[in-house]
Structure 1
Amino acid sequence: MPSTAEPAATAESATEAESRGGFRVRLDNFEGPFDLLLSLIAKHKMDVTEVALATVTDEFMAHIRAMGPDWDLDATTEFLVVAATLLDLKAARLLPAAEVEDQEDLALLEARDLLFARLLQYRAYKRAAALFGERWAAELLRRPRTVGLEPRHAELLPEVVITIGPQRLAELAAKAMEPKPKPVVYVDHIHTPPVSVREQAELVVGLLTELGEASFRQLVEDAPDSLVVVARFLALLELYRERVLAFEQPEALGELRVRWVAEEGRGVIEVTDEFDRPAGEGPGAASGGNGSGEGSGEVEEGERR
């Protein structure tokens, strides 16, 4: 099959190959540079089955021998890769197209496109290598600057412009050098605030003096939480120790009744605050350490009882 490439392109490629000393092919249906032959096969302008690869291989061997000891190893390797690809492609093209009887034949048919893709990939890498070579040659002409700056250029420093005064600068320096506060972990949200037994006793005394008698349920019905209930129960025990109230429970585990029994004309009822004191402080500490302070004698007497 004669070549269908354009004459101008063929002549230009041939001239370029000759100027580079490239490998030329002389066949019955083609004569010209080997790269042009590959280009025609890649563009489907020449059928690979009509290319005598044995003749091409012989001519390449003769071309290598003519180069003598200066033959190019890279060019030889490239030719071997391309020749092997063309050989595989030609073998795949020569398979009968209408006889696909098993998976092996189908795989061979599909290999045609794979081999053609390998050929295109080779061409792409070759062009990229040529581009890198041109860039390498161009960059070799450049030389970096190895001398330092000239004195007149090295002394060109920008003027320092300070936009703040000495007072503001001193404030910033003091702020930067002052010690940072130590981190504090607040636990106020963890611990529930304490409930005073003395305050709850005052509330109980007020209710009982008004009602005379009430159930424990009535005394704690307005308590917002269990801590207040416990504090009022402790207050009842302290008032019972002061003999100002009495407990009644008609049935076992029944309703607890509280009755006010304080004598008329009795003074202010005070309840010890020992439940509200920090740990380590005894009853004597609240009265100055001698146990004879005013307002606490009745509490201590009750404690001794």
Structure 2
Amino acid sequence: MGSGLAVAPLGDASPLPPSEQLLLVLDGFEGPLDMLLALGRDQKVDLTRISILELADQYLAFVAEARKVRLELAADYLVMAAWLAYLKSRLLLPEPEGEEPSGEDMAAALAFQLQRLEAMKEAAAKLFARPRLGIDVHPRGAPEDLDLHRKPVYEVTLFDLLRAYGAQRARKDSSVLHIAPIRLYSMEEAVQRLSSLLGRMPDWATLASFLPGGQDGGGQGGGLLTRSALAAHFAATLELAKAGRVELRQEGAFAPLYVRSRREDGPADGPAEPPEQ
């Protein structure tokens, strides 16, 4: 019963003289635990060290005096008085054998309930002490149409400004790498060149003679353009041979590659020197 009682947080009950405590204090209570808490405060001791026997005696005496004046005393106060009388008997008499809780356990449960009620009272007092909307604090009415101007303020040193300026100048003066586009020969260009030159070739001619710059492939300084022209013309001769437009001939491995227009009659004779272009 000690752990199942209802707890109702109330305002602080001020200690009163015995002559005034009967009616005034009773009107401020709403449950048995509130009365026990008020009586415990009258002892001026910590709730963890409160004497359950002394508290029970005070409670029983209070209820006995109150019933002489007010017969309509609340029933829960009488129930608590009966339970405290039972608790007092359990504390004074030897412990009976059985599974019922001992008097010390019941007293500890009652003390725990008093501590809980004390904490709830303190929390309620702190909560109601805060400013309340509509009583202590009032919200503003219609908002005003004000122009809001934001002005950023930077907290920097002179060194920070100089460093930022130097970084900006370094980014501005940095050189940009420009890569010029490279001129390369495509196979389509090589096919067009070979098609236009093979019609004027009377006999076999080396593939190098069709390259831009002459037979030795030294055009354009022998650079990337010349190498791309050689690769493009070689691929172009293969495509033309596949199409049946030219004939290819090579005397041995790594020997010069000869090319001429395809002829319908007559055997293929030996290679001849290419004509001057």
Category of TM-score, reference length = shorter chain: 0.3 to 0.5
Higher relative contact order (CA 8 A, sep 6+): 2
The TM-score, its normalising length taken from structure 1, stands at 0.32
